[in-house]
Amino acid sequence: MSLEVIILAAGQGTRMKSTLPKVLHAVAGKPMLGHVIDTAAQLNPTATHVVVGHGADQLQQYFEQQLQHHSLTVVEQAEQLGTGHAVHQAMPQVDSDSVVLILYGDVPLTQLATLQDLVVRAQQGNLALLTVALADPTGYGRIVRDHAHQVVAIVEQKDATEAELAIQEINTGIMALPAAWLKQWLPQLSSDNAQGEYYLTDIIAMAAKSGHRIEAIHPSSEQEVQGVNNRLQLAELERWYQLQQAKQWMAAGVTLADPARVDFRGDIRIGQDVLVDINVIFEGQVEIADNVIIDAHCIIKDSRIASGSHIKAHSLLDQVQIGESCEVGPFARLRPGTVLAAKAKIGNFVETKKTHVGEGSKISHLSYVGDAILGRNVNVGAGTITCNYDGVNKFQTEIGDNAFIGSSTSLVAPVQVGAGATTGAGSTITKAIAADELGVARGRQINLKSWKRPQKKD
């Protein structure tokens, strides 16, 4: 049987105290809804339906900007009348011969294997339900079983008896079942309950009454099914997720100075014998090769670092490529388009942008080099800047192999410095310097013997 997924994302999330829809609040740098959609996509469903309500315009914008690679059907729930009502809104677009998996946009970390288990059981003709036992089940619907230990109903907290409130096994809301059953049972739901809503959970009793088998499976941890209703829960889920990531990387041969003080926010790939100090953040698409050292307080975003390189403390790398055995930092900022060839060095308080730095070249201190191409073994002195912007357009600076750029040189682009050429310290270079030439462009020094230093007046 084919699979279709329905994701409920219509809730307002009033306890988040935010104008942002709850499901767009992020875990590990990705909106919770994005986690759910990405995991569901790995099941290869024939269709994914997202039910939206509060913040529908913001959600639609998110779909258009961030999820273009997903094929989604967006269904609006104009009135929030409960989970059963929400699922009902999507059913006209669901094939009756399919299996339906129901997920929640604010339950972001359910594992693929757990969902696969649910789907397989539903494709075998069962109602598969995800449940978990909690030490404190307060607020959740309770799983009611008969004397044969078979699931026969789910009772919501506000409708439960004292005996039912003592049950610790709770409903996660996540389930899979044949679509035909949903189309039969959803119109029969009643809002005659404490909350005046159409509970999706009421179909469990209908299934039991009809003699259908209800299979309850359990996640590997309760955090897999933990929903988020406030910012405290969001933070708790973030820390749990990050700790799981840290454990996986350490098992794969990465040394983390403190697993509680590193964040993985994206698609991260790390080789063996990599050393990561405290308070390092990886964002987006990041590839770290073997034997890389990353010192404390660095941010690595959408970047590749080749083997043997050393990223020193307090450095920011954003959309850059670092070659083998390079040194970067401390306190360096490498902006998009920076490419370092092997054994290049970027020192403290250096900023680069759209710059290719050749093999063995050095920009060691207090410099800005943007829109530039540096050859091999170039030495850029402290305080050097490329003047690449005239207020409207950007221009390129080209520096040949083995050139020496004296301290505090201003290179006014477009300009070329030939191979083996030198610029005098403090020069403002506006014209090309040929290979092996010395370019000096600075005001002539004048010393006035009769000059007197000003004195403070009484």
Kindly list the catalytic residues.
365
Q: Which amino acid is at 331?
A: F
Q: Name the phi and psi angles at 352, rounded to 5.
A: -130, 155
Distance CA 84, CA 189 (A): 7
Whether the CB-CB separation of 59 and 9 falls below 8 Å is answered with yes
10 Å Cβ neighbour count for 303?
24
Taking every pair of Cα atoms in the chain, the longest distance, rounded to a whole number of angstroms, is: 110
Q: CA 201 → CA 37, 102, 214, 267, 341, distances in Å?
A: 22, 12, 12, 36, 59
**DSSP element (H, E) containing 364:** strand 362-365
Q: Name the phi and psi angles at 86, rounded to 5.
A: -65, -45
Beta strands in 314-374 (DSSP E): 316-318, 321-322, 327-328, 333-334, 339-340, 345-348, 351-357, 362-365, 368-374
DSSP state of 329: -
Structure tokens, 331: 């306190």
DSSP state of 391: S
Burial class (CB in 10 A: 0-12, 13-18, 19+), 147: exposed
360 phi-psi bin (left φ>0, alpha ψ -120 to 50, beta other):
left
DSSP state of 394: B
Structure tokens, 253: 């041969």
Structure tokens, 335: 């902006």
Structure tokens, 224: 């897999």
Among the listed residues 214, 83, 220, 198, the one whose alpha carbon sits nearest the alpha carbon of residue 145: 214
Strands 304-305 and 321-322: parallel
| DSSP-H helix ranges across 361-431 | none
